[in-house]
């Protein structure tokens, strides 16, 4: 997004800023491409939760198996009409590091969290159209199972499950101090980027990426820590977020909590794949995930908030 041409920026602004255009293209796509398929009983995967917890790495790992369809950068900006993207010849397949500066690279064929553009509609629309929408993506990618990373879908687990009862939800959890520090670093980083280029802020707004930056929206109302430029704010948000996740979903059979630090453990990864009904292990790269080396944190932080966080974290680990 940072190096988009004027025409690319105009096209993204024109398509993504107006729901009526998105919905009209969606209706046209259904007329041309939609073929009724029985997808309700497939084990579709929905990765959700806080950013910076390993959601993108988990998405890329599962996508690399070749078993799943996901929206990719190649579908932008026609997110509600994925087959229309074929009309635009995109040749740039060079890998480059994403704006986060975290070593994760992407190209036009890489998956990303784009389906919030669909989910950013009322519940009635989602109920009526979700299966059609996923069918269009599966047809476009010639796959049977859908793979989504959407940090907002933890709020819609019941709704998605009611429509796709065999879906599986993966919610990564990362060591809280490292996680809060990473969130703060990204907030400061994107705030600066958005000051320098307003299109970055608009682009992130279109995709519902309000997790950090100038357009940041809290997951929960701050109680004791109000300053978004301090690590304690992010630690408190971590506590409120994951306590809510634990309270709501710990008894759900199809919700699996994924400990980020354990993803380098082959046995842990095998167990996770079994939980999502993935059985073809012969081509799995069990060394896909990098060691989560803990970074030295020189910021002052609240021991009270950290103690709360560790207690919650240990509950997930247990």
Kindly report the backbone phi and psi dihedral angles of residue 68, in degrees, each rounded to the nearest multiple of 5, phi listed first: -130, 155
**How much is the pLDDT for 3?**
65
- Separation between Cα atoms, residue 64 and residue 305, nearest integer Å: 37
- Separation between Cα atoms, residue 175 and residue 170, nearest integer Å: 17
DSSP 8-state secondary structure symbol assigned to residue 315: H
Number of H helices, E strands in the chain: 11, 7
**How much is the pLDDT for 89?**
57
Run means of pLDDT, 10 residues per run, the chain, 318 residues = 73 85 93 90 95 94 94 92 77 68 75 93 96 96 95 96 97 97 95 93 91 94 94 97 97 96 94 87 83 81 95 94
Beta-carbon neighbour count of residue 114 at 10 Å?
23
Beta-carbon neighbour count of residue 236 at 10 Å?
24
The length of the chain is 318
Distances (CA, A) of 16 to 28, 79, 118, 134, 214: 16, 9, 11, 19, 19
**How much is the pLDDT for 118?**
95
Model-wide pTM > 0.75 = yes
- Separation between Cα atoms, residue 89 and residue 109, nearest integer Å: 13
Sign of CA dihedral 12, 18, 21, 24: positive
- Separation between Cα atoms, residue 260 and residue 100, nearest integer Å: 18
**How much is the pLDDT for 292?**
67
Task: Please provide the CATH number assigned to the domain covering 6-317.
Answer: 3.40.50
Phi-psi group of 241: left, alpha or beta (phi > 0 → left; psi -120 to 50 → alpha; rest → beta): alpha
- Separation between Cα atoms, residue 51 and residue 43, nearest integer Å: 23
β-sheet bridge partners, residue 255: 169
- Separation between Cα atoms, residue 231 and residue 201, nearest integer Å: 22
């Amino acid at each position: 997004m940072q190096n988009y041409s004027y025409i690319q920026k105009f096209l993204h602004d024109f398509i993504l800023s107006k729901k009526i255009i998105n919905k009209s293209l969606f209706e046209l796509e259904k007329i041309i491409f939609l073929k009724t398929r029985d997808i309700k009983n497939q084990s579709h995967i929905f990765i959700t939760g806080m950013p910076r917890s390993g959601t993108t790495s988990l998405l890329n790992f599962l996508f690399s198996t070749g078993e799943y369809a996901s929206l990719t950068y190649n579908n932008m900006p026609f997110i509600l009409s994925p087959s229309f993207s074929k009309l635009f010849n995109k040749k740039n397949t060079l890998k480059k590091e994403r704006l986060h500066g975290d070593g994760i690279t992407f190209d036009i064929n890489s998956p990303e969290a784009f389906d919030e553009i669909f989910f950013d509609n009322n519940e009635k629309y989602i109920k009526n159209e979700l299966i059609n929408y996923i069918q269009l993506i599966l047809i476009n990618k010639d796959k049977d199972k859908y793979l989504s990373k959407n940090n907002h879908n933890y709020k819609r687990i019941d709704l998605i499950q009611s429509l796709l009862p065999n879906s599986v939800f993966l919610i990564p959890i990362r060591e809280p101090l490292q996680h809060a520090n990473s969130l703060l670093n990204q907030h400061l980083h994107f705030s600066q980027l958005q000051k320098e280029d307003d299109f970055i802020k608009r682009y992130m707004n279109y995709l519902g990426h309000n997790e950090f930056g100038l357009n940041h929206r809290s997951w929960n109302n701050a109680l004791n820590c109000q300053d978004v430029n301090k690590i304690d704010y992010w630690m408190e948000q971590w506590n409120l977020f994951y306590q809510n996740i634990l309270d709501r979903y710990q008894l759900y059979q199809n919700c699996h909590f994924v400990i980020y630090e354990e993803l380098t453990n082959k046995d842990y990864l095998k167990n996770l794949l079994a939980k999502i009904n993935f059985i073809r292990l012969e081509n799995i790269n069990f060394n896909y995930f990098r060691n989560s080396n803990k970074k030295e944190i020189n910021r002052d932080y609240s021991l009270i908030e950290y103690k709360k966080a560790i207690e919650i974290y240990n509950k997930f680990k247990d």
